[in-house]
Structure formats: C-alpha cells, structure tokens
Amino acid sequence: MAFVNQNQILQSLIAEQLVSDPASARGRLLKEAARLFRDKGYERTTVRDLAAAVGIQSGSLFHHFRTKEEILKAVMVETIRLNTALMQAAADSEESPRGKLRALVRSELESINGQTGEAMAVLVYEWRSLSESSQVQVLELREIYEGLWLSVLEELNELGQLKADPFIVRRMLTGALSWTVTWYKPERGGLTLDGLTDQVMAMLGL
Amino acid sequence: MAFVNQNQILQSLIAEQLVSDPASARGRLLKEAARLFRDKGYERTTVRDLAAAVGIQSGSLFHHFRTKEEILKAVMVETIRLNTALMQAAADSEESPRGKLRALVRSELESINGQTGEAMAVLVYEWRSLSESSQVQVLELREIYEGLWLSVLEELNELGQLKADPFIVRRMLTGALSWTVTWYKPERGGLTLDGLTDQVMAMLGL
DNA sequence: GACAATACCAAGCAAGCGCTTGGTTTGTAA
DNA sequence: TTACAAACCAAGCGCTTGCTTGGTATTGTC
C-alpha cells in the first residue's frame, strides 16, 4: 500500500462526503461544538453558546441541524470516520506486529492530544448524552475501529509477545490512552508524543 | 498493623463523621445520588429525580443540602475518604512492593466495580460539573490517595521491577482501571475480580 | 436579471430547571 | 403536656433551556 499523509486522508474523506470540510460552515460549527462539549460538557453547552461560537443566532443553528443532539452525533460520527482511516493508514505503514501496535498507540495518542483531541474526548466522555438510537449507529462505526486494534493484538498474542489477553489489553489501553487527555500537556514538560508512546510500549513489555 | 476488614473501616469512618451512615437519610440520598449521577450524568439528573429516589419532595432536599452541587461534592468527598482508608488498609496488609501493588489494583477495581462503584464513576466522570472551589477541596483529598499509589510504584521502580516511569504508570492505571466500569461485568462471563487483577499485573509484566 | 433555494435574523413560546417560601407534621426531651 | 427543633410538604417564582415562527438578506443558476 502506498504511503499517504494525514492531510491526504482527510481530503479524500471530504471528497466522499464522509466528513465535513473544516472550512465549510458545517465543519466550523462541528469543530467549535467539539471544543465546547469537551470544555463544558454537552449538557452545560447551550445552543446559544454553539451559535455564538460561529457568529450566528441560536435559532439559525436549526437550519443546519434538526436538534442539538444531532450536532453531538455528527461530531462523534465524523471523528470516528476520520480516525478509523488514520489508524488504518498508520497500521498499514508498518510491517511487524509490534510496529503496527506502536503505530496504533501513537496514532490514537495523536488523535486524543492533537487536532481532533476535542472531538475524541467528546466521543469518550459524552457517550451517555446520546440517545439510544444514536448510540447504536455510532457503535457500529466504533466496532470497525476496534477491529483494527484487535487484529493487531491477536497477531502479537499468537507470537507470544503479549502478556495478557488481547481483548483485555485493548480495553485497558482504551481507558489509559483516553485518560491522557486529562493530564498530558506536551508543551510544558519534556515528554513528547513519541516519548509517551515509548512509555506505553515499555509498560506492556514491548 | 492489625488486619481490619472493610466493614470495620467503614464503621470507624462513620464514627468519626467522615462519611455518612448509609442507613441515615443523608447517607441514603448520597447513595441514590451517586447512582443517578453515574447513570444519567450530573446535569441530566434533576433535583426532582434525586428527591423522588428517596421519596421526598424536591424542595425538601434543600433542608439537607444548600445546593445541588453540594450533593455532588459530598458524594465525591465521602467516596475518596472511604477509598483512601480502604486502599491504605489493603497496602498495609502486604509485605512486598509487588504484593502491595496488587492489593492496590485489586482494591481499586473493587471500589470501581463493587458497592461504591457508582460513586467512583462519578468521581472520575463528573469532575467538570464541580465548581472550581469545590475542585480544589476534592483535589486535596485526591492527592493523599494518589500518594499511596506513588510510594508503592516508586518502591517497585527502585527495585528495577517497573518497566516505565512510576508517574506515568499510575496515570495509565487510573484511566485503565476506571474504564473497566464501562465493560467489566463480573456476573456474566467468567472473569473474576481476582482474574482481572491478574491480567492487569501480567500486562505490567509483574 | 429573474427566481429559487439557501442562509440567516429577531422575537418569543412552552417546558423544565434550581431553589424559595410559608406552613404542617414528626421526633425528642423535660 | 408542653416546648422546640428537625424533617418534610405544597405551591410556585424567576430564569434558562431547546426549539419554532415569520420574515429578510445572500447566493447560485439559467
């Protein structure tokens, strides 16, 4: 498979209309929404907050989205789509199972602590605010994403390099990596994203 | 130090008025509040929900607590107090650093997935709903709790048994263990709490 | 340049929210 | 029995919420 960079992946997803262009009105709203939802929580964020963040009246929001919850759902759906593609590319760029796992860890840390960090945090911590029917739809996408992890972890396990059950390791990693959003501040303190990735791999004895 | 069981610890904390008796009106409310806050989130839980859960009128709540937020804070404060005492006892019951760490992991898993699980989940996932001044107060208690973990992890590190930085390992464990609340269901599926603890230790290469 | 369709505004509605109020019941102790 | 505080109820106030409505700019298309 050819190597592609992150921007190419984003562009092709936009072309397929699977994620909104960050430059479009919809895209800008979703970005601001993700930030507000992470900072204040979905419930504490009002439609007036959302509208103000993109400079329109609160009522005008409902021209783009039918309900407030639809905004939350859109944030989650587009985030999973983008990150599934990014993770797939990261895994494909490596040969060895260990290399693939490291790429996945690094890629997820990047998603959580980088550009799409707000949206990733929303995905993890605002799950309960989604209606049940929306949860089902988002869960379907999430399973593709998780499948990526499991295939790599199972490969490692068959090689005897994993010290615990693949399913459990993935779940522990889900918690551990998403939790980094609450404490990891790359700017102050010397730990880089690669350094953090190394620590995670070391912790797993890899 | 003498071995004490969990109930003895709870009783002595009640006697010192550091946590509410679960049989008292206040104690029952806090228990119901923890459950509701975890299930629906703090913001989605109304004072009418809280009152109905203990069979009183919504206005009557404010005879016991000045504000709704005070209820959230009380849930968090009492939960930390209880669990700090439980963790201290668990660590003291073991000799070796590895044994102490295992006891801490098991104890935290028990807190998260057992009786006080609702409250522990609230502590982790409703942090943002606390006012800043309350956050400061709860954080002070939290630091005692974290100190317990760090002293054990540092001891292990000095013995060369830890594969990554103690601070980072603790943070990874915080995320990983608290996340178990979203997927670990001891009743269905064969994994016991001890089994899960073993998996965590294995993952750390211990 | 006509004409939709799209994007937005200004105003406000109905419902639900946290919390207050004034008054009644219940528990306790002399 | 009396006295008094703690616990509770019934009612509702003032405010904020998500969302609707009727209308006006703005944009793209032929």
pLDDT digits (tens, 9 = 90+) for A28-83: 999 999 999 999 999 999 999 999 999 999 999 999 999 999 999 999 999 999 99
Please give residues of chain A from 66 to 105 whose alpha-adjacent beta carbon (CB) lies under 7 Å from any atom of strand D.
66-69
CB B83 within 8 A of CB B91: no
Q: Which of B179, B197, B200 to mutate to test the interface with A (most CBs of A within 10 A)?
A: B179
A135 CA to D12 C1', in Å? 38
Q: Give the residue-averaged pLDDT of B180-196.
A: 88
Has residue B1 been placed in a domain? no
Please write the tens of the pLDDT for every residue from B50-83. 999 999 999 999 999 999 999 999 999 999 999 9
The structural domain count of chain B equals 1
pLDDT at B1 over 60: no
Nearest nucleotide by C1' position to the B63 CA atom: D7
Q: What is the pLDDT of residue B2?
A: 53
> How far is residue A77's CA from residue A46's CA, in Å, rounded to a whole number?
21
- Domain enclosing residue A119, as ranges: 6-203
Has residue A115 been placed in a domain? yes
What's the pLDDT band for B176 if we cut at 50, 70, 90?
very high
Cβ neighbours for A96, distance < 8 A, ≥ 6 positions apart: none
Please write the tens of the pLDDT for every residue from A95-112. 999 999 999 999 999 999
Q: Which helix (H) or strand (E) holds B162?
A: none
What's the pLDDT band for A172 if we cut at 50, 70, 90?
very high
Distance between B141 CA and the closest CA of chain A, angstroms? 18
CB B35 within 8 A of CB B52: no
- Which CATH number goes with the domain that contains A187? 1.10.357.10
Has residue B194 been placed in a domain? yes
To the nearest 10°, the Cα dihedral for B128, A43, A132, A117? -50
Distance between A205 CA and the closest CA of chain B, angstroms? 6
Q: What is the pLDDT of residue A2?
A: 54
Cross-chain CB nearest to B40 (options A128, A172, A202):
A128
Q: What is the DSSP letter of A116?
A: T
Q: What is the pLDDT of residue A124?
A: 87
Has residue A1 been placed in a domain? no
What's the pLDDT band for A3 if we cut at 50, 70, 90?
low
> How far is residue A145's CA from residue A139's CA, in Å, rounded to a whole number?
10
- Closest CA relative to residue B119, chosen from B35, B22, B49: B35
B154 CA to D2 C1', in Å? 66
Please write the tens of the pLDDT for every residue from B20-46. 998 888 999 999 999 999 999 999 999
Has residue A65 been placed in a domain? yes
Instruction: Identify all chain B residues contacting A125, using CB atoms and an 8 Å cutoff.
Output: 125
Bin B41: left if φ > 0, else alpha if -120 < ψ < 50, else beta: left
% of chain A with per-residue pLDDT over 90: 84
Please write the tens of the pLDDT for every residue from A138-165. 999 999 999 999 999 999 999 999 999 9
Residue whose entry in the numeric block shows the structure tokens 């997927």: B183
Has residue B20 been placed in a domain? yes
Size of chain B, expressed as the number of residues it contains? 206
Query: A201-205, B15-19, B48-52, B174-178 — which is least confidently predicted?
Result: B15-19
